[in-house]
Structure 1
């Protein structure tokens, strides 16, 4: 009988539980500014955007950005790239393995495993501030960001959720701060059955939530993206 690889078994178990194992380390590589494909998969991969002002000798904020259903990493990145450059934040934008994120289709697993791989690669090449790591997303990506962020609050200090539909964490770890936005005229994920239910649940559970409603539909206005990124990168962060 072949021997069981205990490392792979632990990774598989963690992914099924929605838990991420990657953590910031002292970089072994020397990453450069610019837009880089992850080169971790074929058609469904991801992008890493490193601002011009990146310095390897200082700690940098990181945002893990998740696209909406049917989208890709480029779609997600485009929402916050302008402010990432202005505020010197690194953005790791991931493609979901299928048309949307794993737990929305069935259960945690393949996307968690891929995100873990992408985070590990990023941490090995770039200097990241462990006290300034956000998970963000739009639409289905926002639902997934809230769910994964709460499940991994010992990794993520902040969650940026643009027009989420629901929240389904596997467990509750830590107390990441939450920025939630939603359009009052959203017909894709109506605000009354989505954020107006989600936000009170978060507040009742003790999370620090900044909530913004805006006149608009299922989108992320530039002013909202700007405020979210400013809020994340300029606030005082309590170390884990």
Structure 2
């Protein structure tokens, strides 16, 4: 699998097309064909293959695509959306593990496969913990592709470049002992607000987790009309 030309800059090159060249995928969870050493799952809702929203979701450190689907899959497909869940090549995402490149290439290739089989009308990126930091960083670098970022307990934001102005939703537990809220969620939300982004920030009384009730709240915020 060839890396996209601008993978080291965190840029994603594949874009959805109004014409889908391949046969539509049936409802269910599908393995995305990316070749050896690259893994991603796509959850497809039931119903006619009409244009749908797509959420790309990144797991936390040491996680897998299955954990992403367990966290958000039912809520997204229940709203008629698609979920693309990649698995990091290493123990966590490349930006955190030493430098952008391989995971960006995998995700770009996965998006190309999805766009070849499913009509997509809007795209958000999200994640938990390390995955939330990755989603924020790549989301700001690809704001011309993603219209929103959904970050559950992020540690930081470090976009290699900035493109577009995606809306941002962040939630963080006030008792988080893994990524303490004051130097993570609160600091990140202030940083992004000061940079001019439209930020919605919420805290809850709890620790380092994706709360079940926060997922539909984040999705409703993203998908609301207007």
- The equivalences for 1:109-148 within 5 A come to 109-129=101-121, 132-148=122-138
Considering only aligned residues, what root-mean-square deviation do their CA atoms show, in Å? Answer: 1.2
1:219 maps onto 2:212 in alignment: no
Q: Deviations over 1:57-89 (max 9, x none)?
A: x32000001000000000111111121122111
- What CA distance in whole angstroms lies between the structure 2 residues aligned with 1:98 and 1:153? 25
- What CA distance in whole angstroms lies between the structure 2 residues aligned with 1:221 and 1:113? 30
- What CA distance in whole angstroms lies between the structure 2 residues aligned with 1:172 and 1:223? 31
Q: CA deviation at 1:173?
A: 0.5
- Whether contact under 8 Å (1:133, 1:155) holds in the other structure is yes
1:51 pairs with 22, 45, 55, which one?
Answer: 45
- Report the equivalent of 1:3: none
Q: CA deviation at 1:12?
A: 4.6
Aligned length: 223
Q: Report the TM-score, using the length of structure 1 for normalisation.
A: 0.90
2:144 pairs with 154, 171, 175, which one?
Answer: 154
- Report the equivalent of 2:20: 27
2:74 pairs with 69, 79, 82, which one?
Answer: 82
- Whether contact under 8 Å (1:183, 1:191) holds in the other structure is yes
Q: Report the TM-score, using the length of structure 2 for normalisation.
A: 0.95
- What CA distance in whole angstroms lies between the structure 2 residues aligned with 1:46 and 1:208? 30
* 3-state SS of 2:182 partner: helix
Compared with structure 1, are the counterparts of its residues 39 and 12 closer, same or farther at alpha carbon in structure 2 (3 Å cutoff)?
A: closer
Q: CA deviation at 1:206?
A: 1.0
- What CA distance in whole angstroms lies between the structure 1 residues aligned with 2:5 and 2:184? 30
- What CA distance in whole angstroms lies between the structure 2 residues aligned with 1:59 and 1:48? 15
Q: CA deviation at 1:230?
A: 1.3
- Whether contact under 8 Å (2:57, 2:125) holds in the other structure is yes
Of structures 1 and 2, the larger Rg is shown by 1
Q: Deviations over 1:88-127 (max 9, x none)?
A: 1100000001000001011110000000000000001000
Task: List runs of 5+ in structure 2 lacking aligned partners.
Answer: none
Structure with a larger share of its residues in helix: 1
